[in-house]
Amino acid sequence: MHSFKIVRRVEFSETDMAGIVHYSNFFRYMESAEHGFFRSLGLTIASHNANSIGWPRVHADCDFRRPLRFEDTVEVELLVKEKRERSIVYAFIFRKTNTDPVEEVARGTLAVACIRKDPVTGAMSSVAIPEEIASLIEAAPEALLSESGR
Amino acid sequence: MHSFKIVRRVEFSETDMAGIVHYSNFFRYMESAEHGFFRSLGLTIASHNANSIGWPRVHADCDFRRPLRFEDTVEVELLVKEKRERSIVYAFIFRKTNTDPVEEVARGTLAVACIRKDPVTGAMSSVAIPEEIASLIEAAPEALLSESGR
Amino acid sequence: MHSFKIVRRVEFSETDMAGIVHYSNFFRYMESAEHGFFRSLGLTIASHNANSIGWPRVHADCDFRRPLRFEDTVEVELLVKEKRERSIVYAFIFRKTNTDPVEEVARGTLAVACIRKDPVTGAMSSVAIPEEIASLIEAAPEALLSESGR
Amino acid sequence: MHSFKIVRRVEFSETDMAGIVHYSNFFRYMESAEHGFFRSLGLTIASHNANSIGWPRVHADCDFRRPLRFEDTVEVELLVKEKRERSIVYAFIFRKTNTDPVEEVARGTLAVACIRKDPVTGAMSSVAIPEEIASLIEAAPEALLSESGR
């Protein structure tokens, strides 16, 4: 799989005194799409056993074009931009879907590293993405990514 | 000890589209005062060893009288309302201090249980507050609490 | 109408270092159910015209019985506990629905006042709930409320 | 002025189930430093009169090198990277100061546009930064910025 979409409705607590969604929430929305993508693969980002792998964020960015307001519905499209041995880079496109036509409001990127946590010391070390996960994920076609401007 | 005060300045991300602090943040402010209280005792609420104790919240309430706005300074006064064998109840008074006179804006209560987490199973069980902690905490005098209306 | 239900999946950003949903988020969940209830009536909590009414929170409380964790699905049931001339009191029951049987995890209350904002000065004054809203809302039957323990 | 520093202590509610500060909070920390910078100039980011200017975010990014944990103290250094006619670009360096030596944990960038909101329609239009603000802000020296790797 190389893509996934979620749709959310903007909540009151996500707005700020400017009357729009606080920009930090776009990064929460990205993560929500990433976790939905993992569930769509039959996986969960958060395994509960002690020596399990984790996905710390190493880079995030977002370009904001239009504001989102309370009760807007926003579609967050995730595209796998790069699959490397030890990390994944996702691209995101945010679209407001309660307008006609649908409006693109933002684009972002998230790079995550694959790590394993030592069950005794808690120390994290970079590891190759386990094959059972890596085999389910592939980079999106060039055409989709270039359309996304990423 | 039976009381503690913190002062915070309201942040932009804590406001909502009504132009005031979102009410959920008053509960974050309470907890911030609770953790400052523990630090004032030379303790931390979060021990990092596996069989350590924890303080899950069992009850929280707040009465909101006046709004807080961006860049207001708010004093959060914590009073120990009850110290029981296995739990603590805190009372809180919120005051806006960038006005003359200072204005009370809210009052709240937080009840927390003392638990121990099994290092193997992760199961939590209610335990007596350890003596080295219990000996540092006492209920505030009746006079202070009645003044606080709690 | 006197009741409404929403279902949410717990998001990673809603958890804290104790591995469970931070308690302040239960208050965000309550509000989310309240706003969904208004949408179910064809209303919105947030009107955009200058002299519109608003619903500041005057009281909130919650009793926490069991923790919620990442990816748990939680049903939030709203019941209208009291409809007064100038305010509404809601009761909430939180249930974890990804377990069999479903588990109740928390109960809460939220009291909101109906206010009108002066379009010039911005000052808020308590007003009677407008008839077009009041006519759509009624208190839940005693039986439902007593079952809810509220 | 071209730089400013704030120091914060990590709060419990800012951590997630991975035991570290949720990455979206680094963007809240950046904004907090930006607003402190404005206060240090005798300004506020949020004027309350109807035809006032605002500073919507147009771009944000962050590179995460080390995690922050509960009760860590973090210094956020703001440097003015670019002052343009209608926008400002800030660079940020995050350092954990409760370790010896101090550790750099993250770097970020925030680009904000200067806008004026029409008092009647609410429409926002890009405007030149007012002289009384622009005269107080200057780009940081090249040496500081290159040291910051931005």
Smallest Cα–Cα separation from D48: which of C16, C121, B60?
C121
Is residue C83 a contact partner of residue C28, using CB atoms and an 8 Å limit? Answer: no
DSSP D144: H
In the sheet where D87-96 sits, what is the strand order?
A: A3-9, A73-83, A87-96, A103-113, A57-64, D57-64, D103-113, D87-96, D73-83, D3-9
Q: CA of C20, closest CA in chain D: separation in Å?
A: 7
Amino acid letter at C21? V
Which residues from chain D sit within 8 angstroms of residue A59, using beta carbons?
Answer: 61-64
Query: Subunits touching B (CB < 8 Å, at least 3 pairs)?
Result: A, C, D
**Residue C99: band (very low, low, confident or very high) from pLDDT cuts 50, 70, 90:** very high
Go through the domains of chain C in sequence order and give each one's CATH number.
Answer: 3-142 (3.10.129.10)
Q: What is the pLDDT of residues B50-91, one digit of tens each?
A: 558 899 999 999 999 999 999 999 999 999 999 999 999 999
Q: Helices D24-40 and A24-40 meet at what angle, rounded to 10?
A: 180
Rg (CA), chain D: 16
Q: Which residues of A touch B (CB under 8 A)?
A: 12-13, 15-20, 22, 24, 69-70
Residue B87 CB partners (closer than 8 Å, separation 6+): B58, B111, B112, B113, B114, B129
User: Do residues B20 and B67 make contact, with C-beta atoms less than 8 angstroms apart?
Assistant: yes
Enter the ipTM: 0.94
Radius of gyration of chain B (CA): 16
Distance from CA of C15 to the nearest CA of D (A): 5
Give contacts of B23 with chain C, Cβ < 8 Å: 27, 31, 57, 60
Give the model confidence (pLDDT) of D59-116 as tens digits.
Answer: 999 999 999 999 999 999 999 999 999 999 999 999 999 999 999 999 999 999 999 9
Chain A residues within 8 A of D63 when measuring between CB atoms: 58-59
Cβ–Cβ contacts within 10 Å for residue B75, how many? 17
**Does residue D87 sit in helix, strand or coil?**
strand
Give percent of chain C with pLDDT exceeding 90.
80
pTM: 0.95
pLDDT in tens, D113-126: 999 988 777 788 99
Contacts of A45 in chain C (CB under 8 A): 12
- Our CA-based measurement puts residue A107 at a distance from the nearest CA of chain D, in whole angstroms, of 10
